[in-house]
Amino acid sequence: MASLAKLLPGGGGAPYVVDAVSSQYLLYHALGAVLTRLVGDALLANRLLLAAVAVVWPLSLRAALRALGRDERLAIFGSMVFFNRALVIGFLPFIASIPIALFAIATLVSQLEKPSRRRAVGLGLLGLTLFYTHVSSFILFVLAAAVMLAMRLVRSDDRRSVLLATAAPLAPSMLAAAFWWRAGSLEGPSGHVESINRLPLVLTLDAVPIWTFDVWASHGDELCAVIWWAAFAAIIIFRGDTKTPPVSRLLPIVPVACAGAAYLLTPFSVGAAGYLNLRLAPVVTMLAILALRPRRGLLGDVPLAAAAMAAVAMAAISTFEMRRMETEQLGDIDALLARARPGTRLAMLNFQIRSPHANFWPYVFAGSYHRAYGGAIASYSFTELAHWPLHYAPGAAPPSPAPFWAYSPCSYRYRADGSYYDYVLVQGRLDPFAEPTPGPAFTRVAHEGFFTLYEKSADASDDQTPDHGPCPTRRR
């Protein structure tokens, strides 16, 4: 967001170029860039966006429930699903796309029942917005839309009108998706997708509750999850009656059925894109809420109240755990990175990628704050992925170690990488510059939490000592 803000008119420029053709993750970051220019801080802009997403999360579920003729009170179940692993890992465009998908489903259902020109325009805009926020949610919406449209066509006497009212508005987003697929952003240098990996079925099914709620190493979130699932099961057991026609009764099941199928069929990774199926687990849970039918009276009110209390408790636990983790492990990262000069280049070496508080280590890309604070380049970053919307400008790219070298600091080389970077941010207790090294000299300048910042203090000498990187030092 900070880099995109600099690329906007009057932003001063940055060593990046925007790729709006082969990437469709652009909208969330572009909106954040505009907010960054307005508020002057990319971190604040991102907090504002995430706060907005958290607010519309249950509201979008409520809109879908209303369109499907379900009890709108069920939207309270959606609040707690916001605190999922995809959020902690940092799949922010994906998280933002889920409420957009729910609004799109609500609009589609309403358009199928009572077509209007205004709703058709809204459906078309939602389709485009969803695609340019995240393709995974867009594909899921298209699957559900296709099944719902087929069900409507079976009951319709004027199928041409139904197609024009629902399929036509989605044509622009479908063309954008086809154009993106044609651009081949997931392909490797050889011109085809280099690897497709799948998880065993048992692990895939086991990950649904884990990826939905199991965020913290403590057991507070698990207790909230038990309450939530118990309330969910109670509504299924003591479900209310419905007088809707059989076809309409099946309609709320379509989204979760499509989500479940997509979850099972989607690979774990395609090329450099990973966690493709696991990140859908919270979506499966979210859409399953649409199929619930709470009973009126005490048997319906008690599970709803339990879900509300679990959501409040989960928010409180997450606030406490995040604050504790930030204090103990991140420290005053602002003060640390303030020691780095603006317009410089920083490398991240993560020798510790485990957290005693979170099930996923959330600070793998902590060095990227350097870019938000005025730095030019921080690597490793997603900028080095082909399917990301921001690429390095010609001649500005860093040396190319192993893919995702954020998780393999051993690939860092003192001579080649040290000549390019001005700073090195080390995560963990290892001091990679404790012994004499080939290449430029780096000096420790600051330490906070688990992080230590080193600054280049001398250029490389003519020493021809073999450069094996920091790991031989670690083994000794």
Q: What is the per-residue pLDDT for 182?
A: 77
pLDDT band at residue 45 using 50, 70 and 90 as cut-offs? very high
* 344, 266: one domain: no
* 50, 168: one domain: yes
* 76, 209: one domain: yes
Question: Regarding beta strands 451-458 and 441-448, do their DSSP bridges make them parallel or antiparallel, or are they unpaired?
Answer: antiparallel
pLDDT band at residue 247 using 50, 70 and 90 as cut-offs? low
CA distance 336 to 339: 6
**Spatial contact of 29 and 42, defined as CB atoms under 8 Å apart:** no
* 350, 440: one domain: yes
| Nearest residue to 283 via CA among 265, 307, 262, 269 | 262
The residue from 263, 295, 323 where one domain ends is: 323
Higher pLDDT, 238 or 245: 238
CA distance 162 to 113: 9
Per-residue pLDDT for 192 more than 70?
no
Q: Which residues contact 405 (CB under 8 A, 6 or more apart)?
A: 380, 411, 412
Q: Is residue 55 part of a domain?
A: yes
The residue from 276, 291, 323 where one domain ends is: 323
Instruction: Round the average pLDDT of the chain to a whole number and report it.
Output: 89
Number of folded domains in the chain? 2
The residue from 291, 323, 355 where one domain ends is: 323
CA distance 75 to 23: 32
* 282, 357: one domain: no
pLDDT band at residue 476 using 50, 70 and 90 as cut-offs? very low
Coil, strand or helix at 269? strand
Range of the structural domain that residue 105 is part of: 41-184+194-323
* 55, 138: one domain: yes
Q: Is residue 137 part of a domain?
A: yes
Residues 334-346 have a mean pLDDT of: 94
Residues 188-203 have a mean pLDDT of: 73
Give the distance, in angstroms, between the CA of residue 66 and the centroid of all CA atoms in the same chain.
Answer: 27
Percent of the chain with pLDDT over 90: 64
Q: What is the per-residue pLDDT for 359?
A: 87
Residues 45-59 have a mean pLDDT of: 96
- Residue position matching structure tokens 């409040």: 312
Residue 222 DSSP symbol: H
pLDDT tens, residue by residue, 55-89: 999 999 999 999 999 999 999 999 999 999 999 88
- Residue position matching structure tokens 């449209």: 149
- Whether the model pTM is above 0.85: yes
Per-residue pLDDT for 305 more than 80?
yes
Tokens (6 digits) for 400: 């190319």
Coil, strand or helix at 153? helix
pLDDT tens, residue by residue, 75-127: 999 999 999 999 988 899 999 999 999 999 999 999 998 889 999 999 999 99
* 58, 137: one domain: yes
pLDDT band at residue 155 using 50, 70 and 90 as cut-offs? confident
Give the distance, in angstroms, between the CA of residue 297 and the centroid of all CA atoms in the same chain.
Answer: 38
